[in-house]
Structure 1
Amino acid sequence: MRPRHWAKLTSASALAIMMGCLPLRAETPIQVDATLGVPLPEQPELKLLDSEHPASSPAAIAHSGAASEPEIVTGTVSAGSRLRDPAKLDATAPADVEDEPVTLDIPAIEMPVTDPALVPASKTVEPTPPPAPQTGPLQSVEPLVPPPEMPQVVITVPPGLEFAAAVAEHLQDAVAVPRLSERERNEIIAAYQANENKPFWIDGKGWNEAGKRIAAQLGRASEDGLRPTDYPLPVFEASDKAKLAEADIRLSALAVLYARDARGGRIDPRRLSKLITPTLYLPSATEVLSELAGATDAGAVLAAYNPPHEGYQRLKAKLAEMREHLDDTPLVRIPAGPPLKLGMRDERVPLVRARLGLGPSEDQVFDRSTSLALADFQKKAGLPANGILSERTLAALGKPAAARGEEDIVAQMERWRWLPPDLGTDHIMVNVPEMRVRVIRSGKVVHEARTIIGKPESATPIFSHKMDHVIVNPSWYVPPSILKKEFLPGLAADPDYAAKRGYVVTRTKGGGISVRQPPGERNALGWIKFMFPNEHAVYLHDTPNRRLFAGERRALSHGCVRVENPFALADQVLGPEWTHERLKRLIGSGERRINLPQPLPIHLVYNTIVVGADGRITRFDDVYGFHRLVRQALEQHG
C-alpha cells in the first residue's frame, strides 16, 4: 500500500474514533494540562445528595441506581461552589461563576453506649444536659460560685533601704577623709556592705538621734584639745537623698578619725624619738562603728575614747578655765632680725625687755638680766632655755601668754593619750621630768620616792610594761654603749683597767668581751633591782651613791631609774611575805630572784605639766626636749 493512501486511511480512522467519543466528553469533560497539552488523569466521581431528595427517597435511589441503604459520602468541597447535574452540563458553555450555597447531608455517627463497669465507683455518672440553643451573640457566663476575696498585700520597705543605692554609689568618695588609712576606709566600706548599704545616722529628714549626738561631740572636739576643723560636718539638704547618703558615710569616717585621734593617733610618738615607744591602743574602724551603732548615747561613747585618767581630766578642766579668761592685753611687737646673745647691742633690746616685763629702758645692750628673763620664758614655752633670742623664741614672744599656756596644756594632754586606757588598779608610775616614782593602789598613792634619771645624752625611755620579778644582790653587766665609750679605751691603755675597779672580763663565743660587776657594796645596781624586761634594757634599781638624791637636778644615770629607798619599794611590790627585814638578811648571800605575786603594770611617763587637786599647775623641766617635740608636731599637724 502506498504511503499516501496509508496516511489517508489513518486520518479517517482517527476522525471516526473522535466523533464516537464526543458524547462522552460532553458528559465528563477531559481536563488537559495547559502547558504540556497532555490529558490529566480522570478524577474519581463525587456523588452528592440533593437536599430536596433524601437518600432514602425512591427518586434518589432511581437517580443513583444504588441500593436502598444510604451511602456515606466523603470528599472536599470548596466553599461557595454549587453542584449541578452532570447530564445538564454543557462542555462548551462558559463556567458559571455565580456562588450558591451547598448543603451536605452527612449521617450522624452513632457512638457506643458507655460501659458502667468502666466508671469509678466514687463518681456517679450523670447525663450531660444538652446545650441551650444560641439565640443571640455570645454573652459572659456568671460563675455559679463567686471567687473568694483576696487578702490585701502590704509591702513594707525596711528603714533606710531607700538610701541603699545612693550609699553604694557614694561609698568610695565619701569615705576618703584625710589621715584615714586605706585599711580603715575599707573597714568602713565593709561595715556598710554588711548593713545592706543602709545608712547608720540619717533618716528621711536628716540626722537621727545617734547622728545628732555624734555631730555634737565632733563640734566639742576643742574641749579635749583636738581641732574641730579636723572633723568638718557635712552639709546637706533633707530633700536630696544622694547628699543624705553621702553625709551619713562622711559622718562615719569622721567618727572613726575622732576616735583614733582621741586615743593618740594624731602623731606617731616613735617618729619623735627612738626613746618614746608607748604601745598605742588605736581602735579599728569596725570597732568604732559597731560600738556607736549599738549605743544608747553614741556621743558619750565617742567621747569615751579620750583618756579617762584623773590627770587628763584635770588638764581638760584647766584648759576650759584658761579659755574663759583670755588675756586680751596687746603684745609688744618685736621686729625680725638676727639672733641676739649676751653682750650684743641691738635696737630691739628695749622692746624685748618690755615684752618680758623688765620695765622700760633706753639701753640697747642685751645684758644678763634680759638673757635670764628670756631663758625663763623659753623654759615655760617649752623651748631650749639658752637665753638667746632665736627665730623660734621671737615667734613665741609674739603669742599671748594664754595662747602659749593652751598649747602647753594640749601637748601634755596628747601625751596622756599614749598611755593604756586602763592603767591597772594597782600600778607604778615614774614621772621622768619630775624624777619621782609612785605606787598607786585603788587610785591612792601608797608610796613615793625620789629617783635619778638618765642624762640628756642617755635619756630614760618612755613606755609602759609589767614588772614581774626582783633580784637581790644583782650583778651588773656593762651595757655595750658604756663598754665602747669607757671600758675599751681604758683596757687599751691598761690591761688591768677593769680588774682594778672590781670588774670581771670574759671572752664571748663571737670573739668579743663581756664585762661584769659582781654583787657587792660598790655594785652600780646596789643591793636590789626591779625587773620588767623591755627593748631598752632599762629597769629600776638601787645605787651605792645615795647622796646624789639630795640634789635637785638628778639626770645622772645611763638610762635606768635609780630609786632612793629600794627596800621600801620592794615592800610594796613583793607583798607581806617578803618584809623589809627578810630582804636585808639576803644581802651578801648571793644573787637571788624573787617573783612578784602577780605582774604589776609600770608606766614611765613624761609629764612636764601637772594639775593638782586644787587646780594649781606645776611645771617640770623639759630635760630631754620631748615636750617641745610634741608641741612642734601638733603645730605642724595643724
Structure 2
Amino acid sequence: MPGAKPLSLRETQVKSMRLNGLLASTALGLALLTSQPGFAQQTDQQKVDAAVPVPDTTLPPPPTLKDVQPAPAAAEVKPAEPKQEAATPAAEPTKTEPVQNATAPAAEPPKSEPVQKAAVPAVETPKTDLPPKLNLSQPTVTADAALSDKLREMVTGKQLDRVGLRKAERTGVESFYAARNYAPIWIGSDAAAARAASAIGYLNNAEAVGLESSDYPTPDFKAATTPEAQAEAELRLTASALTFARQAQTGRIHFTRVSADIAFTPVAPDPADVLGKLAASDDAAKTLDSYNPPMPEFKALKAKLAELRNNDGQLAAKPEQKKPEQVRVPEGKLLRLGMKDDRVIALRKRLDVPGDKNNPVYDEDVRDAVKTFQETAEIGVDGNVGRNTLAALNGDQKGGENRASHNTIDTVLVNMERWRWYPRDLGNPHVVVNIPDYTLTLWNNGKPYWHSKIVVGKPNKATPLISAEMKFITVNPTWNVPPSIIENEYLPALREDPDALDRIGLKVEQRPDGTLRVYQPPGAANALGRIRFNFPNKFLVYQHDTPDKQLFARSERAYSHGCMRVQNPFTYAEKLLSLALPNENYSEARIEKMLGSNEININFPKPIWVHLTYQTAWVDQDGKLQLRKDIYGRDAKMISIMKGSEMKVADTAIDRPPNTSSKPVRVPVGMLNNGRGGGYRDSGPNFFDWLFNGGDQQEMRRGRGPNGPRADSSGRYYGSWR
C-alpha cells in the first residue's frame, strides 16, 4: 500500500502466524495454540477471545492492528454459523483506530462485548437443528388456535345466522364466547367430549319430556376434521342446546296461538347463562333437563307418557286393577227409599251393598250406597236412582265427561306443554283451578289442603288461563257488572224491557267522563253471593259465592261468564285465612257474622298465587291417569298446531286484538239521569233514546228514531226495533 509504514519483525511474524492458522483446520489450529504454555495460563474469557479470529488486543499500540483484516474471513469459513453477519462488527475497531490509545484495550473491556455475543450463537447453533419434541407438539397448538380463530370468525360474522338462533340468543352466544376468548365447550379435551356426548344423548331423546328431538339437531364431531368443520359443529350443538332450554322452559307452542283468553308472562332463560351452566357442568343432560317444569304434575305426566308409548298408547294393566264384569242395572222407573223392586237386587250387586244381595227392598243401606256413588260421580246427590244416576251406574253417561276427546298420547303431550306456560314456582300455599274438571284445590306444603266443586265459564265465555295473586277477600261484595256483559247482554235486554235491570236489583250510573257503571249492591240476591275472592287480572274474573246452588249437582258445570263460583265459599275463606292469617282465628261462623249491607275487605299480608289451569289429563293421588273432556277446544287447537306446518314457527308469539272485555262502555255525558233503576228523564233525549236510536239527536228531538218512535212517558218503547 503506498505510503504504508514498513512492518516490524514482530508484526511480520504475527501476521504470518495468523495466515498459517487459516490454512490449517480449526481443530488443529486450536490444538497447536492451546499447547503453548503461555496460552494455557490465560483466563476463560481470554480463551474465548483467542478461539475467535479477531484482532489480538494484547499486542502493542493499535496502529499495528490497522492491517489485521482476516477476522471477517474467519467467520465466513464457518458454514454452520447462523449469524455470520454478527461477526462483522469485530473489524469495526479499525475504523475508530485513530482515537484509540495504548491503554484503550485494558480500560474498555466492554468493547469486546459484541464479539462475545457473536460467539454464543456459534456454540448453541447445533441446538436449533435438533427440536424434535417441540415440532411434535406444534400441530396441537396450531389446531386449537385455528379452531378459536374460526369460532371467532363465525361468531362475529354472519355465519352465526345459519344455525337458526334468535337475536337474543345470538347476542348471548357472542358475549359468552368472547368472554372465554372463543374457546370451545364441546370439543378440544376429554371433558369437553364427555359434555358433548351427554348433551347429544339427551337431545336425541327429547321425546321423553314431550318435545321432538328433530327440533334439536346434533352434529357428528367425529366427521369434523378441519377447524372450520369443528367450529360449525360446536355452534350447531350450542344452538340446539339453547333452543331446547328456551322451549323446555316456555313451550314449543306460544299461548297466543291458542286463544286470546290466555295470558302469561313467559321468561326465557338467558342464553349466556345457559351456556355458562353447561360449560361448568360435568352432566350436560342434567343441566338441560333442569329447564323442564319442576312441578310434580308435569313429572307424573312424563311417567305416564313413557308408559303409554311402551304399550302402544295404552296404560299398562295392573293385576289389582282388573275387576269382574260390571253388573248392569236394568232400565225402569225411579228407584227410591222404601220401594220393592227386583232391580234393587242388581243395584245391590253393582254397588256391593253389605248384607243380603238378593233383598229387593230399597232400604237405607242401598240409599246410602247410591249417595256415595252420586258424590263420586259428581251428579245430583239425592239417594234416588233416576235417569242420570242409572246412566252413570251403567257407564252410559251422556257426553262421557271422564273421557278424553282425543288420542291419549296427544292429550298428555298438550297438557305437558301447557305446564311450561306457568311459573316454575307455583307458590306456597297456592290455589289450582282445573277448568275441565270443574274443581278447585288449595295446596299447602306440597299437599292438597282443601278441595271444592266449582262452576266455570260457558264455552263462549271461557274462564281464562292465567296466574295471578289473590290479595284479599271481600265479604258483602258489590257486583260491578263487567263492561262486556253490559254491552253484550244487558243493553240488548233493555231494548226489550227498560225496567229489566231495576227488577233484578241493578243500579245504573254515569260517571263524569261518560262511562257507565252498572252494579248490584250487597245482599243475599247479589250475583256474587256473600263473599268474593279477589286476584286482580285483566280479564276481570274472580272466585265468588253464588245464589244458584243447584248447579253444583250437575256433572258438567260450565255456566258462568268466566268467573268461578265456589260450592262452599265460607269454608274456602276459612281455609285461606287459616294460612294467610293463622293467628287471627278466622272461622266460618266468624265470617258469617260479618254479613250485612257494607263491604268488608280482609287483606292478606302475603298474596296467595292462583293458577287457572286447563288439565284434561293429570295423575291423581292414587297414581291413576285422569282424563276429561276438551270443553273449550284447547286440546284440539294445540294438537292441530303440533301436527301442522304452523309448528315450525309455533313458539313465536302472534298479535292478538286487545282485550276489550274490560273497556268501559261510554255514552255522551248527560244522556243518563241517575235516578230509578233505568235512570230515565221525563222529557227530552235520554240515554235509551241514544242507545236505541244510534245517537241521531235530530231524529230524537222530532220524537222518532231511525227505526221507530222513541219511548213514551212511561219509559217503554213501542214499534219495531232491530
Pick one of 640, 643, 646 that aligns with 1:632: 640
TM-score normalised by structure 2 residue count: 0.58
Counterpart Cα distance in 2 of 1:295 and 1:572: 43
Pick one of 179, 185, 190 that aligns with 1:200: 185
Distance 1:137 1:430, change over 3 A: same
Q: Is 1:520 equivalent to 2:529 in the alignment?
A: no
Shift of 1:130: 2.6
In structure 2, what is the equivalent of residue 88 of structure 1? none
In structure 2, what is the equivalent of residue 600 of structure 1? 608
Distance 1:128 1:415, change over 3 A: same
Pick one of 147, 156, 164 that aligns with 2:148: 164
In structure 2, what is the equivalent of residue 137 of structure 1? 70
Name the SS for the 1:610 alignment partner.
strand
Counterpart Cα distance in 2 of 1:282 and 1:481: 33
Q: Is 1:382 equivalent to 2:315 in the alignment?
A: no
The worse-fitting range, judged by mean Cα deviation, of 183-192 and 136-145 is: 136-145
Shift of 1:523: 0.3
Shift of 1:635: 1.3
Counterpart Cα distance in 2 of 1:573 and 1:379: 29
Shift of 1:260: 1.1
Counterpart Cα distance in 2 of 1:485 and 1:327: 44
Name the SS for the 2:161 alignment partner.
coil
In structure 2, what is the equivalent of residue 242 of structure 1? 228
In structure 1, what is the equivalent of residue 467 of structure 2? 464
Distance 1:464 1:177, change over 3 A: farther
Name the SS for the 1:457 alignment partner.
helix
TM-score normalised by structure 1 residue count: 0.65
In structure 1, what is the equivalent of residue 575 of structure 2? 572
Q: Is 1:185 equivalent to 2:143 in the alignment?
A: no
- The C-alpha deviation readout for 1:36-64, integer Å capped at 9, x for no partner, is xxxxxxxxxxxxxxxxxxxxxxxxxxxxx
Counterpart Cα distance in 1 of 2:4 and 2:193: 85
In structure 2, what is the equivalent of residue 397 of structure 1? none
In structure 2, what is the equivalent of residue 54 of structure 1? none
Shift of 1:239: 2.9
In structure 2, what is the equivalent of residue 283 of structure 1? 269
Name the SS for the 2:508 alignment partner.
strand
Distance 1:561 1:160, change over 3 A: farther
In structure 1, what is the equivalent of residue 437 of structure 2? 434
In structure 1, what is the equivalent of residue 422 of structure 2? 419
Shift of 1:589: 4.8
Name the SS for the 1:166 alignment partner.
helix
* Matched-pair contact (CA < 8 Å) for 2:249–2:291: yes
Shift of 1:215: 1.2
In structure 2, what is the equivalent of residue 307 of structure 1? 293
Counterpart Cα distance in 2 of 1:475 and 1:380: 39
Pick one of 203, 216, 227 that aligns with 1:231: 216
Pick one of 601, 604, 618 that aligns with 1:610: 618
Shift of 1:496: 3.0
For residues 228-627 of structure 1, the aligned pairs below 5 Å read: 228-236=213-221, 237-326=223-312, 382=405, 404-575=407-578, 576=582, 577=584, 578-627=586-635
* Matched-pair contact (CA < 8 Å) for 2:524–2:530: yes
Shift of 1:524: 0.5
One-letter amino acid of the structure 2 residue matched with residue 246 of structure 1? E
One-letter amino acid of the structure 2 residue matched with residue 435 of structure 1? Y
* Matched-pair contact (CA < 8 Å) for 1:205–1:238: no
Name the SS for the 1:621 alignment partner.
coil
Structure 2 unmatched ranges of 5 or more: 7-56, 76-89, 91-111, 315-394, 649-722
**Identity within the alignment, %:** 36
Distance 1:597 1:322, change over 3 A: same
Counterpart Cα distance in 2 of 1:419 and 1:268: 12
Name the SS for the 2:281 alignment partner.
coil
Distance 1:177 1:214, change over 3 A: farther
Counterpart Cα distance in 1 of 2:268 and 2:212: 18
Shift of 1:489: 3.1
* Matched-pair contact (CA < 8 Å) for 2:163–2:235: no
Shift of 1:102: 5.4
- Which structure's CA Rg is the greater one? 1
* Matched-pair contact (CA < 8 Å) for 1:430–1:604: yes
Name the SS for the 1:433 alignment partner.
helix
Q: CA RMSD in A?
A: 3.5
In structure 2, what is the equivalent of residue 399 of structure 1? none
Shift of 1:633: 1.4
Counterpart Cα distance in 2 of 1:327 and 1:567: 43
Structure 1 unmatched ranges of 5 or more: 1-78, 80-100, 106-126, 329-371, 384-403
The worse-fitting range, judged by mean Cα deviation, of 178-187 and 518-527 is: 178-187
Shift of 1:601: 0.9
* Matched-pair contact (CA < 8 Å) for 2:529–2:545: yes
Shift of 1:599: 0.6
Distance 1:208 1:269, change over 3 A: same
- The C-alpha deviation readout for 1:563-621, integer Å capped at 9, x for no partner, is 11111111122233132222111101510111113111110000001123444221111
Counterpart Cα distance in 2 of 1:472 and 1:243: 69
One-letter amino acid of the structure 1 residue matched with residue 487 of structure 2? K
Name the SS for the 1:316 alignment partner.
helix
In the alignment of these two chains, the number of paired residues is 454
Distance 1:598 1:325, change over 3 A: same
For residues 1-16 of structure 1, the aligned pairs below 5 Å read: none
Shift of 1:136: 8.5
Name the SS for the 1:530 alignment partner.
strand
Shift of 1:552: 0.8
* Matched-pair contact (CA < 8 Å) for 2:404–2:630: no
* Matched-pair contact (CA < 8 Å) for 2:402–2:626: no
Distance 1:452 1:179, change over 3 A: farther
Instruction: Name the structure with the higher helix share.
Output: 2
* Matched-pair contact (CA < 8 Å) for 1:382–1:622: yes
Counterpart Cα distance in 1 of 2:420 and 2:311: 26
Distance 1:377 1:453, change over 3 A: closer
